[in-house]
Amino acid sequence: MSPKTVTDHEILPGSRVLVTGASGLLGRSVARRLVELGYEVTTLQRSSAGVDGAHEVRGSLSDPDVVARAVQGQHAIIHMAAKVSVSGRREDFVEINVRGTERLLEAAWAAGVDNVLHVSSPSVAHGGSSLVGEGAGPADPQHAEGNYAQTKAEAELIAETYGSAGMKVLVIRPHLIWGPGDGQLTHRIVARARSGRLPILGSGAALVDTLYIDNAVDAFVAGLRRLPAIHGQRLVLTNGEPRPIGELLMGIAEAGGAKRPRMRVAPGIAKAAGAAVEKLWAAAGRITQMPGDGEPPMTRFLAEQLSTAHWFDQRRTRAALDWAPSISIDDGLQRLADHVRRTGGVL
């Protein structure tokens, strides 16, 4: 490694960085920012990432040859690729989130890649109860809710094992990323609000942290740069602005051009319904598809996320990354609304 690009304290522009999962909004946005800053970026994903200036490797984490080719010669890896869904076969989550992480880190170790920024989720340490001002507790596959959270918890433990063996591993857990271009949370909220099927559970007063996309990108770039100095840590990443979940849902729906949701459901009823829907969904493959949304209308995990507090102390994260969000929740909502108006309703 050139001392001009990688030091004991920083990974500087000019370094070779692999970004997995760059066909998603966060991965693509981080890869683009790194290119703009002068990093030599390679992306690995199944479909085109569309990142000008980056070298693209097309393929899956299921293919050892593709993975080995992608990691060769890299100074650092930002591992974002994952199967993200509230439903689906467990084996599909295991193949990408667990075995895919194992293949990537095994290949990175063999290729002498020393630095890995592993992207996880706060759900890996969330057993269903409220999280109030928490830090980044240990990943807990046994108590995490749902296939996504359980397999991401397993993947995080694998990454930390490589960290214990000598690889420099930093774990960052972004929480509920949203904003223009987001095909996950933002799209689902707006699509369901437009169809009149976005419920507010209970009073909607449970406080929840979220993360605006531009702030997420800035934080990941900061994490990559400082990784040699701060490896070995787990950091939850949010805007640090807890808001009532009902207020957030209404704000994002309205900014996306939908009417504010008015349907209210008791949390206990939602959890019971979610359990029933999960069984029916698994048996039938899929029930009625929501407009623009292939997910079940409710699951136990969704019911818990929509009815319990989950916000996090950000002091450690901001100190470690030497970073603070530049765009507030209110500014982000305005940016989303402006984007939707400019694009004629396209998120």
Rounded to the nearest 10 degrees, what angle do helices 245-255 and 185-194 cross at?
80
**Residue 69 corresponds to which amino acid?**
R
- Report residue 316 as tokens: 């450690």
39 is catalytic: no
Contact 118, 98 (CB under 8 A): no
Task: Say how many CA atoms lie within 13 Å of 255 toward its Cβ.
Answer: 24
Q: Which residue has the tokens 């001009």?
A: 4
- Please, are residues 149 and 123 in contact by the beta-carbon 8 Å criterion? yes
Amino acid present at 230: I
Contact assessment for residue 66 and residue 59, using Cβ atoms and an 8 Å cutoff: yes
Task: State how far the Cα of 97 lies from the Cα of 47, in Å rounded to an integer.
Answer: 18
Read out DSSP for 250-319? HHHHHHTT-PPP--EE-HHHHHHHHHHHHHHHHHHS--SPBTTB-S-S--HHHHHHHHS-EEE--HHHHH
Q: Which residues pair with 237 in a beta bridge?
A: 174
Choosing from 39, 148, 162, 212, the catalytic residue is: 148
| Alpha-carbon gap, residue 220 to 331, rounded angstroms | 20
- Token digits for 297? 């209308």
Integer angstrom CA distances of residue 299 from 103, 262, 269, 310 = 31, 20, 11, 18
Please identify every residue annotated as catalytic: 148
